[in-house]
Amino acid sequence: MAQKLRDRGFNAFVIAGGLREWSKAGYPLEQVPEADIVLLPVFT
Amino acid sequence: MHPLANLARHGYLALALVVFLESIGLPVPAALALIAAGTAAVSHAIAARYALPLALGATLAGDLLLYLAGRLSGWWLLGVLCRVSLNPESCILKSAQRFHRRGKLTLVVAKFIPGINTMAPPMAGSMRMPFLRFLQYDLAGAVAYVGAYFAVGYAFAGVIDVVYRKTMGLTRAVEWLAVAALAAYILYRFLLYWKHRRADVAPRITVHALADLQRNEPQKILIGDVRSHGYYDRGAQRIAGSVRLEPSKLLVGEEQLPRDRELYLYCT
């Protein structure tokens, strides 16, 4: 994805290890905002 | 070697193993093993009263494992399974909606449909289908699957045996062909992997360097969360200060992305 953006002229980078590495290093996290949540159907 | 001789030699363990491996998604011919078991039962090479419950138990064990994996991982497992799809985002959404509508029926017939058989149990788990309800429908599906193929082997034992003996000469050639096809496929995957490794790939940044950037020059950067599975559960977390960039719409809506800032993306 980052490479495709670079091909289109964006200065894009990949975060090595992603969220897992960020979280492991103890850097701050935040709750995903309610508005961004896509609620998929569940059985109740 | 004749499949009946194989079954007699390796016994119930081979049958259970093949059925279990298929139910956890590996491409092994469980249906053929069940047909061979049914054929073997006619000549008493194996006993149906042991083979059937064993195959059933192996199927259920594999399905339960995937159900629990779905239950524990939320939407992550479905995200992984959808990764091979052209559009992972819509794959997750559509699969979930369809399964919610026809979940019970899907569980009963899933075993007969390659691909769906592996997707159905983890989806039931991800979508929090109550355990006993899952067990009920999955058991019905497993009984139908194991019973149907075993019955085919049992009912057509004579025909299957004759067909096998007549085509025995071809068997070795088919085996070699299968091995060659497998080797070609592995080589193809390796070449693809090598090509992508050699191709230009986007530069990476460590989380420590990014944290420094975020602290010192936040106006110069945008952290984008391109996970397709991280937004389906209340309470999900992300990197503080990051924004969601939907993978399926990222390249379509590129005009909305800032060109004057560095974009840092994460997807795991």
The per-residue pLDDT for range B191-205, each reduced to its tens digit, is 877 776 655 578 999
The answer on pLDDT for B163 being more than 90 is: no
pLDDT (average), residues B229-253? 77
Q: Which residues in chain B have their CB less than 8 angstroms from residue A12's CB?
A: 202, 262-265
CB pairs under 8 A between A and B: 153
Query: What is the distance between the alpha carbons of residues B116 and B93, in angstroms, rounded to a whole number?
Result: 15
Return the residue of B nearest to A37 by Cα.
B231
Query: What is the distance between the alpha carbons of residues A14 and B200, in angstroms, rounded to a whole number?
Result: 13
Residue B239: which of A6, A16, A19 has the nearest Cβ? A19
Residue B117 to chain A, least CA–CA distance (Å): 19
Query: What is the distance between the alpha carbons of residues A33 and B231, in angstroms, rounded to a whole number?
Result: 9
Q: What percent of chain B has pLDDT over 90?
A: 32
The answer on pLDDT for B32 being more than 70 is: yes
User: In this structure, what token pair is assigned to residue B234?
Assistant: 């209340």
Residue B76 to chain A, least CA–CA distance (Å): 13
Interface contact flag, A14 B203, Cβ < 8 Å: yes
Return the residue of A nearest to B95 by Cα.
A40
- Best mutation target among A1, A6, A7, A44 (most B Cβ atoms within 10 Å) is A1
A25 vs B180: which has the higher pLDDT: A25
pLDDT at B62: 95
Q: Radius of gyration of chain B from Cα atoms? A: 24
Residue A3 to chain B, least CA–CA distance (Å): 5
- Best mutation target among A14, A24, A29 (most B Cβ atoms within 10 Å) is A14
Interface contact flag, A43 B211, Cβ < 8 Å: no
Closest CA relative to residue B268, chosen from A4, A20, A24: A20
The answer on pLDDT for B144 being more than 90 is: yes
- Best mutation target among B90, B207, B208, B255 (most A Cβ atoms within 10 Å) is B207
Q: Are strands B204-205 and A12-15 parallel, antiparallel or unpaired?
A: parallel
pLDDT at B7: 56
Residues B66, B72, B78, B81, Cα dihedral to 10°: -50
Query: What is the distance between the alpha carbons of residues B209 and B226, in angstroms, rounded to a whole number?
Result: 20
Q: If pLDDT is split at 50, 70 and 90, which confidence band does B264 have?
A: very high
Query: What is the distance between the alpha carbons of residues B85 and B80, in angstroms, rounded to a whole number?
Result: 10
Our measurement of the distance from residue B123's CA atom to the centroid of its chain's CA atoms, rounded to an integer in Å, reads 11
B238-242: list long-range contacts, CB under 8 Å, 24+ apart.
Answer: B238/A19, B238/A29, B238/A30, B238/A32, B239/A15, B239/A19, B239/A22, B239/A27, B239/A28, B239/A29, B239/A30, B239/B266, B240/A27, B240/A28, B240/A29, B240/A30, B241/A28, B241/A30, B241/B214, B242/B266
Structural contact between residues B163 and B153, judged by C-beta atoms closer than 8 angstroms: no
Residue B267 to chain A, least CA–CA distance (Å): 6
Q: How many CB atoms lie within 10 A of CB B75?
A: 25
Q: If pLDDT is split at 50, 70 and 90, which confidence band does B115 have?
A: confident
Q: Which residues in chain B have their CB less than 8 angstroms from residue A18's CB?
A: 266-268
Query: What is the distance between the alpha carbons of residues B72 and B242, in angstroms, rounded to a whole number?
Result: 26
Looking at residue B124, its amino acid is A
Residue A1: which of B234, B238, B265 has the nearest Cβ? B265
Structural contact between residues B103 and B129, judged by C-beta atoms closer than 8 angstroms: yes
Query: What is the distance between the alpha carbons of residues B103 and B264, in angstroms, rounded to a whole number?
Result: 38
Interface contact flag, B251 A8, Cβ < 8 Å: yes
Q: What is the value of pTM for the model shown? A: 0.66
Q: In the beta sheet, which residues pair with residue A29?
A: B239
Interface contact flag, B93 A38, Cβ < 8 Å: yes
Q: Which residues in chain B have their CB less than 8 angstroms from residue A29's CB?
A: 237-240
pLDDT in tens, B4-18: 555 556 678 889 999
Structural contact between residues B29 and B18, judged by C-beta atoms closer than 8 angstroms: yes
Residues 6+ apart with CB under 8 A from B72: B125
